[in-house]
Every structure is written in structure tokens, then in C-alpha cells.
Chains A and B, each alone.
Chain A
Amino acid sequence: MNSVEEERELIKRAKTDPEAFGELYEYYVERIYNYIYFRTGNVHDAEGLTGRVFFKALEAIGSYRDMGFPFSAWLFRIAHNQVANYHRDRSRKQEFSLDDIAVANLSERRKSPEATAILQQQREDLLKILKDLTPIKQEVIVLKFVEKLSNAEIGAVLNKSEGAIKSIYHRTLVELRERLDSDDFL
């Protein structure tokens, strides 16, 4: 999918054509899975909720209307609601499965084992701090750094204004900086 026009056309076809929905699924499944994974902290729940998000999207795509936000914002909104229900139903604290998250990227693999170990430790330290943030702050960080969404798009997902997201993001960075400073992680 190269352009907004192509995506619009695909969404239109997906209302009646399972193959077109399959294409949308292929394009977005990794992003939705990651968002849920970082919010639930385990593979099993991330897979279950990802399935529910796409089945919800399949049911609702017939009535999807372009409101000026990207289709991804609509999907992330469904995912956001599913994750909120998940936490409400189970009343469980978000946990990061560090073992599962430790999928080294290529640049790390090229480094020496010592350097890789240090980078891995730094990453684990950072993720430990992230998991102590409030849910809304975690969401902003995940949507910004894992999903690369803009403040406006994050606002559409979380039903907040762009200014509110900017403010939350700034407060999150300040909090992270203070925690990293106090724990001397770097």
C-alpha cells in the first residue's frame, strides 16, 4: 500500500471482499500486535487480544467512515478499548515479559557479546521503568516509539487533543529522566 488513495480503495473493497481485508490485516497486524504486547506484557494475551481486535474490525468495517484520521487510528482505537477491557476485567498489573521482549535487532547482533549484554541490560532497565508509568503514559510511549504515530494520531486513538498528548508526553519524559537519574541507569 503506497498511498492514502490506495488504502481508501482497499478499505472500500474490504467491506465486501475477504481478500482485501486480508491485505489490510497483513499491513497492520504487526503494529497492532506490538501495541497490545507492550500493554499486556505477555505473548499469550497479546495474541488473543490481537485476534479479538481484528474480528471486531471485520464486524465494524462495513460501517467504517473516513473521519479525516488514518485507518490505523481507527484500528488502534479498537485495540485501546480491548486492552482497557482486559485490564478492567482482570484487574491485573501490567507486566513486561523481558525474556520475550529480548529479541535482539540486527545492529545489536553485529556487536560483541559484551556490548550486546550491556545494551540488553540497559534495555531491560528502561523497560522496567516504563512498566511503572501510568497506563496512559505507557500508551503514549508505545504509540510514539513503537508505532511511530504523531501526537495528533495518538490523540485520535486515546480520544484526547493533540495538545493534551504533547503535555502527557512531556511529563512522561520528565518522569523518565528523573527515574533514570535517580537509579543511575546510564
Chain B
Amino acid sequence: MKNVDGENGSTVVKDLEERLGQQVYRVSPNPDFRSALKYHLKSSNIYQRRREIGAIWVASLGLTLFLVLLGTLIYALVKPRDLPKD
């Protein structure tokens, strides 16, 4: 940078920001890499695993609900018989 005597600090900073904006710019990734990575991501088994986990979770919830209902029903049927008669 040339001598900046006579210029105020903000002008120098502005010039530097302008230079950074012009000279630090993006590069493009290799198109083959880009498309290959997309293919691998889209064909990943993560979605399949997530669906399986979701299905197991729903099945577990359903089973738990069923067992609770069954227990409640059995309790309701059995309990009156256990009541002591006067």
C-alpha cells in the first residue's frame, strides 16, 4: 500500500475493504465432485434408517397403548368381583 499520509483512516479502511471485496472471491468446485456428492447424499440410507426408526417408534407406541387399554379393561372386569360382599 502506498503512503496514505493525508488520507483519513476511514478512507484507508474503505479502500482496503474494497480491495478485499475485489480480490478475495469465490472459486467453483469441480462439477464432477459436485454432482457425485449430490448423488451420494440423495442415495444415502439415512432416510431409509429414519423411516425404519419412525416405524419402530410408532409400532412401540401402538403396542404400549394397546397394553395399557388391555390392562385397564382386565382391571375393570376383574376388580368388581374382588370387592368384598357385605
Contact = CB atoms under 8 A, between A and B. Distances in A.
Contacts of A64: none
Interface of B is mostly: helix
Nearest to B44: A58
B34 A181 contact: no
Contacts of A105: 25
A100 interface: yes
B81 interface: no
A184 interface: yes
Interface of A is mostly: helix
Given A19-B42, A22-B41, A58-B41, A29 B29 contact: yes
B18 to A, nearest CB: 10
Categorize the interface residue count of chain B.
20 to 34
Interface string B19-30: 111011111111
A18 B34 contact: no
A18 B44 contact: yes
Contacts of A173: 13, 16-17
Nearest to B47: A18
B29 A22 contact: no
Contact of B20 (A31, A33, A145): A145
Contacts of A21: 41-42
Contacts, number: 100
A100 B29 CA distance: 11
A71 B51 CA distance: 24
A67 interface: no
Contacts of A31: 26
A180 B16 contact: yes
Nearest to A180: B1
Interface stretch (A46-54, A76-84, A86-94, A158-166): A46-54
27 contacts: A18-B42, A18-B43, A18-B44, A25-B38, A29-B29, A47-B33, A54-B37, A58-B41, A58-B46, A59-B46, A103-B27, A119-B23, A122-B19, A123-B23, A141-B20, A145-B20, A145-B24, A146-B24, A176-B20, A177-B13, A177-B16, A180-B16, A181-B1, A181-B3, A184-B2, A186-B2, A186-B19
Closest 4 interchain pairs by CB?
A180-B1, A186-B1, A33-B29, A123-B23
Interface of A: 16-19, 21-22, 25-26, 29-31, 33-34, 37-38, 43, 46-47, 50-51, 54-55, 58-59, 62, 100-101, 103, 105, 119, 122-123, 126-127, 130, 141-142, 144-146, 173, 176-177, 180-181, 184-186
